[in-house]
Structure 1
């Protein structure tokens, strides 16, 4: 029997280096790295990790802004056979420590911007020895620079890694309680690169712009797809709409991945109408639902090659392709190539088309499980009648007869008022139709008669242009009787995760805290008729 090789994404770096060594692989500002250097530098990191005792079974933490060095670390860690643990810089100091401890990180790489987050908490992380704190782009007391860490190390290829071993642990939130680490294998991430790359039309001449943090799982869709085909990655440490548009024109960017807040910023930037976006073959929106008006403006003013992805890091994905937006407005598309989506009821029975239930999915890039949490992993599994296993998403939605999926919101966010199920996403879509509303979150709050009642929290485009009572009437006139809002209130800002997704639990807690502590500002809910 022949031993068929198992090719992983990191192994392809050496292939690209051999086939087109002088082609540019990475760009940051005026700095470029060709594929030969990319291969050499990632191998150097891998050898340095191995020499320091970190390889298969080791978890390597990285808390860093986007840069060439942070991209090299992703693939250097992978070549060493170790597991990359990205740490979200938006977390609080304590949340960062909790995450690092939960992931059992053995060595930590940190960029200067985040050094203060962990510097004073070293005693809380005894697993990381004093000589295993590495500065990315800096050095100082108690820090070894990345440059000195890899100094003198070899650049030769390392033995191939086990494709079933873990390549990354992404953390789902880490904002409250014990965070959940999502373990993905080399095989899973290779399938992610293949399937998304195929759907999005990645080729060796593709230029992918990374505008979201590498610590976010969704960022890896563009990054891995570009590496898989041997394209070019443009790295930007910090997003601004003006800078993004300039980079697209300068580097003839073909693929970009953005979150709704970034897309909103782009359509509000005066530079958009004069920007050259003709090179864009695919712009992908990820992270949370995109307002219909934003989607319409992006397609009309930026590019018609617009995709919207719905999914969870654990393992689910649908794609709304360019031709779907007009045909199926409001849909998040159909299952990604090679994936399957079903809708089940509370008893775990698959429902008929157009019936709302929990979305479950089966994908080739499914997670291995939550790190160190087998019980919580088991709770996510749904087994179909044919014996195949799917993962529950915790989201409510429906699927029509053609396979198009419509998301109604998080299962835990559903509001039950007077026995009726109310889906916040439906109400939010109506509120966002008002031209003065920039952003909205609908939450359920306690009501003495109905159990719960919906409240709308809005961030306005310009304060004072409309009274909240007028907005409330405008919205309720467009809602079903059971959906009507108890009130609409101005909210200055919403808490978000790394990809800009609203954190509804935090928003609800903030609202209820304000209501309970300041009843003169937020009046008790009236016992109105539905």
Structure 2
């Protein structure tokens, strides 16, 4: 007897490709994905398209366990490629279009993708696809073989793939801006845990999830796949625009959404926010960046429905959940550990600390990455072994539990900057700055930004004065031309030298404070 949808979504493990096929059989005419332009596919159409993708990959010799890379803005072909690849047992490496050509080429090579799917915007920025991969134009533009031409014929059915929980689902790169990025391998089993919890937050057939964050972000995928598994409808935006977002939310009677804090800020700042009917909203989610308590309070006061904040990592491990509408007195926290998640704090020596003590956050759960692709050393560095011999993932964040078990973030141990919800690594930018012949040394810090949450600012020491030495504006322009969009410097200050501790460590907090004072 074939499994039913209820059997599948309540099982300890399932496969997204199988769920999509059952949804297509059960509700063939129900809309699965709708673009902001109005273009849409039903579950039957989406299922058939995923079959054609899977059959085409098998035809071209892309084997189970291999990867394909995709670098484009959100679209129905992008979504179908993702589901079709998974159906064939092929992992997907979704890459950020804002990455530099060199970074993209490095990530494509790292994941071993022989096929690279992109759109015209990426093609123009890249000049050409990475030499190691065959290019396909997702949007049908003429720079490469078109997606429609590449697909297997209408009606094609792929050979069945047996997919185990440990098989790779996707590879998400933690930084698309370095020559040695870390590819986070998320397994089918890990992704299923996200689907499995979907029923608890109302991802049923009546759900309409509006997503304006990109499909290459784990932030998006934790809502995208559970919505489809539940038989709901996903409405995709190619890029976030506050006014367009509100129009779509009202038009489609949005029930669920995922936004990063800077997007909530832009929505709350609109004078016409209250003119839109958002009464259909059931739950709003937030993750990826620090979410100010006062902004949470604004959202709760002005936007119907609940507000849920997730604190966690793409690598998985432990997740904290703040049901902000249920705990308005805890908006300064990121909530309590999710059911089944073990979150602890450790000191600099790796020793677990007690309640009320500040420490680095480490977590363990059923949803954990398989490791960093091809980098066992980095995987080991990100792992903490408990006294019981269990593996936890280190977050690099510093926090403290209060007496009620709610976690407050104190600081980031790492110097990562979160700009517009995306991770920006200062070391990547610093490495680019020091390539200029006039530069001695550089340090990059994140400073508050109304537009992006945080923006990178550089402090640079130049070589001895001389003829033709570059000035601050010229150097910032030179650097920004070599960086990805999310990395670009908001400001650059020339200094005599960088402040250091007695052991030679650059004191970035002093730099950040100095910039804030001058601003």
**TM-score bracket for the superposition, by shorter chain length:** 0.7 to 0.9
Aligned to 1:420: none
Q: CA deviation at 1:256?
A: 0.4
1:60 corresponds to:
68
| CA–CA distance in structure 2, aligned partners of residues 257 and 235 of structure 1 | 11
On the 8 A contact 2:52/2:158 being kept in 1, the answer is no
Distance 1:276 1:320 in 2: 25
CA distance in 2, matches of 1:246, 1:21: 27
What is the alpha-carbon distance in structure 1 between the residues aligned to residue 86 and residue 236 of structure 2?
A: 19
Q: Which runs of 5+ in 1 are unaligned?
A: 415-423, 426-440, 444-453, 462-490, 526-530
Instruction: Report deviation, 1:345.
Output: 1.1
Structure 2 unaligned runs (5+)?
Answer: 419-423, 427-443, 452-475, 500-510, 515-519
**TM superposition score normalised by structure 1:** 0.76
Q: Structure 1 350/199 Cα, relative in aligned 2: closer, same or farther at 3 Å?
A: farther
Find the partner of 1:127 among 132, 138, 142: 132
Alignment coverage as a number of residue pairs = 437
- CA 1:353–1:198: 2 relative to 1, 3 Å: farther
Are 1:211 and 2:212 matched, yes or no? Answer: yes
| Runs (4+) off by over 4 Å | 3-6, 454-461, 516-519
Give 2:432's aligned residue.
Answer: none
1:514 correspondence with 2:494? yes
Structure 2 distance, partners of 1:374, 1:221, is 26
Three-state SS of the structure 2 residue aligned to 1:182 is strand
Q: Does 1:402 align with 2:409?
A: no
Alignment partner, residue 142 of structure 2: 140
- Separation in 2 of the partners of 1:236 and 1:457? 28
How large is the RMSD of aligned CA atoms in angstroms? Answer: 3.2
Give the alignment's TM-score, normalised by structure 2: 0.78
Structure 2 partner of 1:274: 275
CA contact (8 A) 1:47 1:154 kept: no
SS at match of 2:132: coil
Q: Which residue in the other structure is 2:382 paired with?
A: 380
Structural mapping, 1:389-468, within 5 Å? 389-413=391-415, 457-459=447-449
| 2:87 aligned residue (64, 68, 79) | 79
Map residues 463-502 of structure 1 onto 2, 5 A cutoff: none
Aligned counterpart, 1:88: 96
Shift of 1:296: 1.5
Distance 1:507 1:389, change over 3 A: farther
Pick one of 12, 16, 30 that aligns with 1:9.
16
Question: How is 1:30-179 mapped onto 2 (pairs within 5 angstroms)?
Answer: 30-120=38-128, 122=129, 125-128=130-133, 132-141=134-143, 143-152=144-153, 154-156=155-157, 158-163=159-164, 164-179=166-181
Counterparts in 2 of 1:269 and 1:460: CA distance versus 1, 3 Å: closer
Give 1:528's aligned residue.
Answer: none
Distance 1:458 1:287 in 2: 16
Residue 325 of structure 1, CA deviation? 4.1
Contact 1:345 1:357 (C-alpha < 8 Å) held by counterparts: yes
